[in-house]
Chain A
Amino acid sequence: MSETARWRRVWGVVAGVACLVLGMALLREVVDLSDHRAGLTSTVAAAMEDSGVSHPPTAVLLNFRSYDTWLEVVVLLGAVLGVLSLADRRDFSLAAPRQDAPVLRRLVDLVLPLVLLGGVFLLAQGTGAPGGAFQAGAVVAAGLLLAHLGGSLRLGRIRGVMVVLVAGVAAFLTAGLATLTAGRPLLDFPTPGSHAVIVGIEIAIAVSTALTLTLLVLASAPADGPDEDLP
């Protein structure tokens, strides 16, 4: 066999052995870990009253570790800017929707309001039950993508797209600056106002995430018309 093929075969074996060894070492560590019980559940539970929401993961995401969530939204913004900068078109217009799917279009027209309602519901109950901004944004993005596939979403140059895309980052920035100018540590929300701040940030995140996720999938489309037929 050729030179490269032989090297590839050798590398395959070496990699396989190395991964096996790594896997066994990691598994041993996992077995060691299984005895540790100390988690942060009680620590978080003790601080829930100050958080402004009643669902622990939401409190962790948007209050106790809100800095991580801020940077997460920044990463999303960076990704969508990267995808848009690589897109074939110079404006934000999305790929031409399919023209020949009447059944899908009718179905989407029926289902889209429910999808949007579902997104709003997930956002609204995220403070007290499973749900939240990212889930809501993803559901709305799925609805928008369905609308695009069905042909009912016809967007040319979307004015104000950048404003919506940066809304999440901007909300965090505003909240952070507000806490700093009030003399508190960054993003340390005061207990009486924390619920309002969290809800405000969540709404901004949900809206910007919805558009961001939609553009992430759509903007990487070829410049020449609809996609080839899906199988």
Chain B
Amino acid sequence: MSLFLLYGGGGIILFVVGLHRLITVSHLIRKLIAANIMAGGVFLLLVATAARDAEQAPDPVPHAMVLTGIVVAVGITAFATALIRLLHSETGSTTLDEADGDRPASP
């Protein structure tokens, strides 16, 4: 099994598993962790495509893209945690659900 298949396949599995948790759990921090794991899976696949040819040096363009992706991910995660914390301090809940006994979504 080539390096690309191993890491690329692993990246796909990470993506799909993260996607599953992203759309099933309601706790926002768990969703955030799931989204970050999905991002990690995508990065793995990208860098695996860069490392396909064993004779040549790795392709630097996917490297740059993943670097950009990592930086964007930290920015998004920081903003998301600020928003989640604000939601928690305003309403006391950590989910966006309405029918869980939390206060109803009111304007």
Q: Do A and B come from one complex?
A: yes
Which residues of A are at the interface with B, using a C-beta cutoff of 8 A? 4, 8, 11-12, 15-16, 19-20, 22-23, 26-27, 30-31, 33-34, 36-37, 39-42, 44-45, 56-57, 59-61, 65, 68-69, 72, 75-76, 78-80, 82-83, 86-87, 132, 134, 209, 213, 216-217, 219-220
Cα–Cα distance between A12 and B24 once the two chains are bound (Å): 6
Q: What B residues does A132 contact at CB under 8 A?
A: 67
Residues of chain A lying within 8 A (CB to CB) of residue B65: 68
Q: A23-B13, A69-B68 are in contact. Are A75 and B75 (CB under 8 A)?
A: yes
Interface string of B81-92 (1 = CB under 8 A from A): 111011000000
Q: Are B59 and A83 in contact (CB under 8 A)?
A: no
Q: How far is the CA of A89 from the CA of B39 in the complex (A)?
A: 32
B60-A41 in contact (CB<8A) = yes
Question: B residues within 8 Å of A by Cβ?
Answer: 2, 4-5, 8-9, 12-13, 15-17, 19-20, 23-24, 45, 49-50, 52-53, 56-61, 63-65, 67-68, 71-72, 74-76, 78-79, 81-83, 85-86, 97, 99-100
**A72: min CB distance to chain B, Å:** 5
Which of B5, B57, B86, B99 lies in contact with A34, CB distance below 8 A?
B5
Is B78 in contact with A23, judged by CB distance below 8 angstroms?
no
A220 touches B85 (CB 8 A): yes
Q: In the complex, which residues of chain B have a beta carbon less than 8 angstroms from the beta carbon of A12?
A: 24
Residue of B with least CB distance to A81 = B79
Task: Tell me if A's interface is mostly helix, strand, loop or mixed.
Answer: helix
Inter-subunit contact A26/B53 (CB<8 Å): no
Q: Is the CB of B61 within 8 A of A44?
A: yes
Number of cross-chain contacts by CB at 8 Å:
128
In the complex, what's the smallest C-beta–C-beta distance from B102 to chain A, in angstroms?
A: 12
**Measured between alpha carbons, how far is A219 from B79 in the docked complex, in Å?**
10
**CA of A86 to CA of B84, assembled, Å:** 11
- Interface of B, secondary structure class, is helix
A30 touches B57 (CB 8 A): no
Give Cα A68–Cα B64 distance, bound, in whole angstroms.
9
Question: Across the interface, which residues of B come within 8 angstroms of A83, CB to CB?
Answer: 78-79, 82
Quick check: A60 and B64 within 8 Å, CB to CB? yes
| Assembled-state Cα–Cα distance A109/B4 (Å) | 44
Residues of the A chain whose Cβ atoms lie less than 8 Å from the Cβ of B86: 86
Instruction: Evaluate contact between B15 and A56: CB separation under 8 angstroms.
Output: no
CB–CB A19/B20 < 8 A = yes
A-B contact pairs, 15 of them (CB 8 A): A15-B23, A19-B17, A19-B20, A23-B15, A27-B9, A31-B5, A33-B49, A41-B53, A60-B61, A68-B65, A79-B76, A86-B86, A216-B75, A220-B81, A220-B82
Distance from A223 Cβ to chain B, minimum over Cβ atoms (Å): 10
The one of B49, B68, B75 that contacts A78, using a Cβ cutoff of 8 Å: B75
Q: Which residues of B contact A42 (CB under 8 A)?
A: 56
What are the residues of chain A within 8 A of B57 when measuring CB–CB? 41, 45, 56
On whether the beta carbons of A34 and B75 are closer than 8 Å, the reply is no
What is the CA–CA distance of A76 and B75 in the complex, to the nearest angstrom?
6
**Bound complex: CA A12 to CA B23 (Å):** 9
Assess whether A40 is in contact with B8, with CB atoms less than 8 Å apart. no
